[in-house]
């Protein structure tokens, strides 16, 4: 379940508050709109807003949903929202209050000089569902009770996760990127205009794979970056750029964050989840040492609770807010004027629901060669093409291949012809309290395009994942001539393509 506010017009405060649901056991099913509020502000009473949803869901849990002769049972899994919406739905104080943490009893400290609340504790007692409903921490709650407390089989603490879009992409990653580029962290050197120009040139020249819909923009537009741009920067570009602007210890500390987010973003790294939890703990504990005590805001503190959410709901993309944010864009397009907004949206939703889907539609099977024979669709959202941004992939035996062409051998088998690189190196090695992690453990490599290689032909089922490939500069970004580039290539996995 998810809620969020949706502003409609630049010249008006009118906004929509949709209630959305998604069926976890039907991953291909779309997000569905089950409730809608429209007003000049957010709903005044959470009981009126979410009460009917809770009543309906409790009834469905008792009776189930009938499909022919089959009755399907429903259970609430997670309530996904950003920080203000989470606090509103749960009836708690906001994230910037002293008792604002939703997962633990950490008490914030207000810095008068900075006009902000910081959270320094890393070992506070965790909250429990019983303690929440009994109001053990009275300062954590608003005077009223949330209707979600009446939702059967729902845990008020574990059921409200810190999800990736707001916790990582629009949270900690945004803070780090803006802080380093704008020079607000005291323990880091400020970037010179020439260094900023070098990095901006590198970002503009970066070409992400076809599966990534939003291209990178320079830091000049950083305040207009979307969440996916911060995500792409962190997962595929940051280690190539930021190491030149950090000391060895500071970069090792940043790697704790980078590696943890990388590990938690894929079930392919599930065996490393306990290590990622340790890395994140170290990152939060030592954050003031590198970035300053004044920057220990709630988003940084909340990293301590990510591992618990991942262990409960799976890899970060599985409970991300991205699917709901994308659906909100569709809802906004249904509004043509400022009158009878709810009626407009409801009418369009009914029209779409009434459209008959052809029963004899053709279902695509994969792998599938492209029509022009110049590439191959390994899956619906995984394509290999003979151009630099789309031709790098990893095999099941960890071979690094540059795609050249594909051909069909039979109705069930395709083969891929390419160049396999024999020599690769790690991009980094991170360590925390004796625990070592090489970039190669995360399938992150660095190769020389002119290095030793050989031609290979492999079956399609031997493909493990696709790489995001970046041409690395020939010199440090601190002394970079933007026109120069080397034959060195950075390779990072595109998570959703893991086979």
User: Is 70 exceeded by the pLDDT of residue 361?
Assistant: no
Residue range 65-74, pLDDT digits in tens: 888 889 998 9
Band (358; pLDDT cuts 50, 70, 90): low
User: What's the whole-number mean pLDDT along residues 100-121?
Assistant: 94
Quick one: pLDDT band at residue 144, thresholds 50, 70, 90?
very high
Tokens of residue 95, six digits? 């994230």
Mean pLDDT of 306-330: 94
Question: What's the CA gap between 338 and 331, in Å, rounded?
Answer: 14
Instruction: Report how far residue 458's alpha carbon sits from residue 454's, in angstroms, rounded to the nearest whole number.
Output: 13
pLDDT (0 to 100) of residue 371 = 79
**Residue written as tokens 């990095």?**
199
**Minimal CA–CA distance to 381: which of 367, 396, 400?**
367
How do residues 151-204 score in pLDDT, each as one tens digit?
999 999 999 999 999 999 999 999 999 999 999 998 999 999 999 999 999 999
Residues 421-455 pLDDT 10s: 999 999 999 999 989 999 999 999 999 999 999 99
Q: What is the pLDDT of residue 143?
A: 93
Q: What's the rounded Cα separation, in Å, for the pair 499 and 414?
A: 16
Per-residue pLDDT, 44: 87
Reduced to 3 states (helix: H, G, I; strand: E, B; else coil), residue 319 is helix
Please give the order of strands across the beta sheet that includes 368-369: 368-369, 376-379, 382-384
Q: Which residue has the tokens 């690769």?
A: 424
Give the DSSP letter of residue 303: G
pLDDT of residue 99: 97
Give me the pLDDT at residue 374, please. 86
Q: At what angle do helices 83-90 and 46-63 cross, to 10 degrees?
A: 80
- Report d(CA 394, CA 373) in Å as an integer: 21
Q: What is the pLDDT of residue 350?
A: 87
Cβ 268 vs Cβ 244: under 8 Å:
no
Distance CA 282, CA 304 (A): 9
Structure tokens at 337: 């004027």
Judged on CB neighbours under 10 Å (0-12, 13-18, 19+), 389 is middle
* DSSP-derived pairing of the beta strands 70-72 and 109-111: unpaired
Q: Which two tokens stand for residue 250?
A: 């500071």
The rounded mean pLDDT for the chain is 93
Strands 382-384, 453-459: pairing kind: unpaired
pLDDT score at 482:
56
* Residue 478, pLDDT score: 75
Residue range 389-423, pLDDT digits in tens: 999 999 999 999 999 999 999 988 999 999 999 99
Please state, in angstroms and rounded to a whole number, the distance separating the CA atoms of residues 427 and 241: 12
pTM of the model: 0.95
Quick check: 259 and 432 in contact, CB under 8 A? no
């Amino acid at each position: 379940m998810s809620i969020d506010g949706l502003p409609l017009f630049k010249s008006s405060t009118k906004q929509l508050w949709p209630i959305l649901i998604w069926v976890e056991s039907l991953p291909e099913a779309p997000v569905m709109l089950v409730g809608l509020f429209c007003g000049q502000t957010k709903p005044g009473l959470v009981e009126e807003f979410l009460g009917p949803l809770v009543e309906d869901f409790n009834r469905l849990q008792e009776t189930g949903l009938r499909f022919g002769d089959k009755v399907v049972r429903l259970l609430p899994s997670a309530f996904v929202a950003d920080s203000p919406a989470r606090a509103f739905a749960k009836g708690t104080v906001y994230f910037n209050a002293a008792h604002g943490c939703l997962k633990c009893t950490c008490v914030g400290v207000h810095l008068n000089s900075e006009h902000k609340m910081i959270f320094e504790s890393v070992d506070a007692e965790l909250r429990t569902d019983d303690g929440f409903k009994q109001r053990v921490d009275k300062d954590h709650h608003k005077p009223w009770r949330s209707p979600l407390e009446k939702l059967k089989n729902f845990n008020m603490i574990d059921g409200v996760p810190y999800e990736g879009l707001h916790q990582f992409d629009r949270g900690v990653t945004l803070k780090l990127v803006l802080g380093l580029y704008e020079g607000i962290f005291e323990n880091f050197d400020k970037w010179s205009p020439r260094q900023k120009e070098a990095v901006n040139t590198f970002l503009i020249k970066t070409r992400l794979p076809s599966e990534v819909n939003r291209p990178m923009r320079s830091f000049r537009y950083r305040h207009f970056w979307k969440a996916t741009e911060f995500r792409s920067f962190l997962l595929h570009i940051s280690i190539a750029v930021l190491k030149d602007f950090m000391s060895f210890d500071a970069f090792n500390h940043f790697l704790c964050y980078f590696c943890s987010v990388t590990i938690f973003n894929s079930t392919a790294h599930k065996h490393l989840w306990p290590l990622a939890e340790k890395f994140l703990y170290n990152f939060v504990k030592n954050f003031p040492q590198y970035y300053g005590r004044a920057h220990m805001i709630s988003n940084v503190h909340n990293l301590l609770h990510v591992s618990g959410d991942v262990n409960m709901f799976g890899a970060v993309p599985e409970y991300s807010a991205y699917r709901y944010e994308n659906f909100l864009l569709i809802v906004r397009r249904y509004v043509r004027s400022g009158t009878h907004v709810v009626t407009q949206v409801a009418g369009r939703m009914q029209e779409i629901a009434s459209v008959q889907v052809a029963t004899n539609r053709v279902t695509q099977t994969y792998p599938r060669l492209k029509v022009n024979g110049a590439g191959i669709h390994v899956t619906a959202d995984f394509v290999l093409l003979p151009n630099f941004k789309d031709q790098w992939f990893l095999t099941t035996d960890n071979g690094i291949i540059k795609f050249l062409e594909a051909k069909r051998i039979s109705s069930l088998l395709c083969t891929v012809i390419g160049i396999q690189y024999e020599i690769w190196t790690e991009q980094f090695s991170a360590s925390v309290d004796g625990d070592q992690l090489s970039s190669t453990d995360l399938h992150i490599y660095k190769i020389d395009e002119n290095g030793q290689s050989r031609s290979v032909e492999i079956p399609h089922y031997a493909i493990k994942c696709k790489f995001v490939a970046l041409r690395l500069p020939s010199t440090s970004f601190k002394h970079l001539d933007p026109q120069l580039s080397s034959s060195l290539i950075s390779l990072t996995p595109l998570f959703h393509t893991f086979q």
